Amino acid sequence: MGGSLAGAEVLTVAEEREGQRLDNFLLRECKKTPRDLLYRLIRSGQVRINGRRAKPDSRVASGDRLRLPPVLCGLQKERAARNTVRAEKAARADSEFAPLPVLFEENGFLAVEKPAGLAVHGGSGIAFGVIERLRQKRGDRFLELVHRLDRETSGALLLATKPSALRAAQKLWRERKVEKTYRAALFGEWQKKHRRIALPLRRVRQKDGARMAAVDAAGAEAVTVSRLLSQKRGAAFVRAQILTGRTHQLRAHFAAAGLPIVGDRKYGDFAQNRALARAAPALRRMFLHAERLAFSLPGGGDVIVESPPPPEFAELEEQFN
């Protein structure tokens, strides 16, 4: 029982979406559409590929022309209007941050140096983030985040400029074949050169909806290994690797070990944070920095991204001398 296609619009499938299932393609294009409505429209023949009826699991090809019924067109227009507003906000706010330095671009990957205070993507009251800024400036046909960093964490952030690179990286992340190294400044006294923290973490939601990690025997495995770089009066500067990738892993692990990250407003020592902010306002940030990412691609070749700690780490050391 095919419905009327009056007022329908045509959407052409881009090369990078080749081979995707029709239902997944449309769920991404029309994110506000309820899933059950989308399947109903496909099965009733109101969504067509090159003029022919299709099934939800039909594969789209580059250049295919999809006819969308008015209900989906309206949602698409609404989405486009939201994106326009977001782009305008990003353009107005662009002067808040310097251009993002490119650390690496090769083999379908792009790595940039994210400053502390800039979110990786918009949402939850944030008008724009790294991904929106880069899409607006570069105009890449395909650009997706490979992983994420907390808003207050600075350092190396990896994105994919090809679907094949994204799939390869996601597989390596799932299989824990990525070396992830961080620099951190901690309040307290580090007792030995090397330290291993193996405390399971469980994700919890605060009353305001914010995500946090709590040490819990029923939580997921989480392992952090760290090495002391320098000990100052009341602060330790360390290099850390996460052998698992849990939400806020370093922040929760160091706090549980009695060595909270300097400037951490969720897990930190709030009194010491306030005292440091009064003494050195220019150092008001969380001192966690993604220093290095390294992995080997299945087909050969290595991806190594390095981001030296920003100057405020050295300035903080001087503050604790």
Supply the residues annotated as catalytic: 150
Contacts of 111 (CB under 8 A, 6+ apart): 102, 103, 104, 105, 156, 157, 158, 159, 293, 305
Q: What is the 8-class DSSP label of residue 316? A: H
Q: Is 228 left (phi over 0), alpha (psi -120 to 50) or beta?
A: beta
Q: Are 213 and 252 in contact (CB under 8 A)?
A: yes
CA dihedral 190, 310, 247, 126 (to 10 degrees): 140
**DSSP secondary structure code for residue 234 in this structure:** T
Strands 223-232 and 211-215: unpaired
Q: How far is CA 153 from CA 42, 59, 144, 163, in A?
A: 43, 39, 19, 26
Residue 185: φ, ψ to 5° = -110, 130
**CA 158/CA 120 separation, integer angstroms:** 10
User: Whole-angstrom Cα distance, residue 283 to residue 312?
Assistant: 7
Distance CA 243, CA 227 (A): 14
- Among positive and negative, which fits the CA dihedral 66, 71, 72, 76? positive
20, amino acid identity? Q
